[in-house]
Amino acid sequence: MKLKKVLVVDDSPLIRQMYHLVLARYRCQILDAGNGQEALDILVRQDDVQLVLLDINMPVMNGVKFLEKASLLGLAQRTPVIIVSTEGSEADTVQGLRCGASGYLTKPFTPSQLHEVIVRVLQAGGACPEPEEMAFER
């Protein structure tokens, strides 16, 4: 399965731009949300989002609250969520996974690390992205 639509949830416009650059290789549509509430609104309206890349520390609604609400609405079950955050403690990882995240990546990360987590998460769900020439520099 080709990765077609990704939702990037981060309050930093600079980080969202970086995702656009890194994910350009997938040639997928990238939707942006600056907080968890914006992300929920997008997921409710668009049922074809295949992956969410989620920050934890954001204004309005943080990533953990987003995961809790997305789970209650059944959105987390249909769309895999990868937490990508500077919060890299084991407790944060466990909390995110308990709230429905499918994977966890700590910032800063390389394009190769992001790609590996995406592939692992989507393969676990039976779908694997097919970016152009999936090789990244290591």
How much is the mean pLDDT over the chain? 84
Tokens of 79: 């769309």
- What's the pLDDT score for residue 1? 54
- Res 35 pLDDT > 90: yes
Q: Identify whether 137 is part of a domain.
A: no
Q: Name the domain count of the chain.
A: 1
pTM score above 0.95 = no
Whether residue 37 is contained in a domain is answered as yes
Average pLDDT value for residue range 21-29: 92
Cα–Cα distance, 77 to 135 (Å, whole number): 29
Q: Which domain holds residue 32?
A: 5-124
Is residue 132 one of the residues assigned to a domain? no
- Distance in angstroms (rounded) separating the CA atoms of residues 102 and 137: 25
Residue 130, in any domain of the structure: no
**CATH number for 62:** 3.40.50.2300
Domain membership flag for residue 72: yes
pLDDT in tens, 98-108: 878 888 888 88
129 occurs within a structural domain: no
- Residue 19 in any domain: the answer is yes
**135 domain-assigned:** no
